[in-house]
């Protein structure tokens, strides 16, 4: 269970999640400080560790559109936030699967900041409004990467199964 800490509209770009001017910073250990940097108040709360792990960002359609910058994913992942969006842009979705960011596609989600949300198999419960919403499973090919713990362990295993060079 987690609380909705940020409610966003549609077409939230990676420039919003992680502004381009911080792109010289690349390491997942360093990117979280710039997470939603220009949403000053939210960023300040993140940096003050005032937002507990498992807290939820709710977004409308096309979350994460724009650039392929993986910093956008690692910054959100670094704070262990969960993203529930009506739909997600392709590269951001793929990056999230690869890095293990908890991403839930829920086309009908209705929630406000402060609502308590519980994610269950196949659905999302809004404990505050008492409503529940169906989720869309990720394509099975992507699920395999999640099950392996992300793309790095998945690739490592494949590499080790191949003939040594």
Partner 1 sequence: MGMTVVEKILAKAAGLKSVKAGDVVEPKVDLAMSHENAALVINQFKEIYEGTGREAKPWEPSNIAIIFDHRVPAEGPKTATNQKLIRNFVSQHNIEKFHDIRGDRGGICHQILPEYGYVRPGYVVVGTDSHTTSHGALGAFSFGIGATEMASVWTLGVALNVEVPPTIKVVVKGSFPKHVGPKDLILHLIGKLTAQGANFRVLEFHGKTIQKMSTSGRLAICNMSVEAGATSGIVPADEETVRYLKEEAGVKGKIECVVPDDDAVYEQIVDVDVSALAPQIACPHTVDNVKPIDQVAGKPVQQVVIGSCTNGRLDDLAAAAKIIKGKKVAQGTRMLVFPASGRVFAQALDAGYIHDFMKAGAVVMNSGCGPCLGVHQGALGDDEVALATTNRNFKGRMGNPKSEVYLCSPAVAAASAITGVITDPRKGGK
Task: Point out which residues bind partner 1 (CB under 8 A).
Answer: 10-11, 13, 15-16, 19-21, 23-27, 38, 61-62, 65-70, 73, 87, 89-91, 94-95, 98-99, 139-142, 144-145, 150-152, 154-156, 158-160, 162, 164-165
Task: Tell me the closest approach of the beta carbon of residue 108 to partner 1, in angstroms.
Answer: 16
Q: In the complex with partner 1, which residue's Cβ is closer, 80 or 116? A: 80
DSSP E strand stretches across the chain: 2-8, 56-59, 82-85, 103-105, 116-120, 123-126, 131-134
Q: In the complex with partner 1, which residue's Cβ is closer, 101 or 117? A: 101
Task: Tell me the closest approach of the beta carbon of residue 113 to partner 1, in angstroms.
Answer: 20
- The H or E element that residue 91 is part of is helix 90-99
Q: In the complex with partner 1, which residue's Cβ is closer, 127 or 158? A: 158
Task: Tell me the closest approach of the beta carbon of residue 138 to partner 1, in angstroms.
Answer: 11
C-alpha 64/C-alpha 156 separation (Å) is 27
119: Cβ–Cβ under 8 A, 6 or more apart, which residues? 2, 82, 84, 104, 125, 135
Task: Tell me the closest approach of the beta carbon of residue 122 to partner 1, in angstroms.
Answer: 21
C-alpha 16/C-alpha 2 separation (Å) is 23
C-alpha 142/C-alpha 115 separation (Å) is 29
Task: Tell me the closest approach of the beta carbon of residue 133 to partner 1, in angstroms.
Answer: 20
C-alpha 20/C-alpha 23 separation (Å) is 5
Q: In the complex with partner 1, which residue's Cβ is closer, 95 or 135? A: 95
């Amino acid at each position: 269970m987690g609380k909705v800490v940020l409610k966003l509209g549609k077409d939230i770009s990676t420039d919003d999640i992680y502004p381009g001017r911080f792109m010289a910073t690349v390491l997942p250990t360093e990117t979280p400080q710039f997470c939603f940097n220009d949403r000053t108040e939210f960023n300040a709360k993140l940096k003050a560790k005032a937002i507990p792990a498992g807290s939820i960002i709710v977004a409308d359609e096309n979350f994460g559109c724009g650039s392929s910058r993986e910093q956008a994913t690692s910054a959100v992942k670094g704070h262990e936030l969960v993203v529930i969006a009506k739909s997600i842009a392709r590269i951001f979705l793929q990056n999230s699967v690869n890095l293990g960011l908890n991403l839930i596609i829920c086309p009908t989600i209705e929630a406000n900041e402060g609502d308590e949300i519980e994610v269950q198999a196949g659905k999302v419960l809004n404990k505050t409004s008492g409503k529940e919403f169906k989720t869309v499973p990720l394509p099975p090919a992507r699920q395999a990467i999640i099950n392996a713990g992300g793309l790095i362990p998945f690739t490592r295993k494949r590499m080790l199964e191949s003939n040594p060079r």
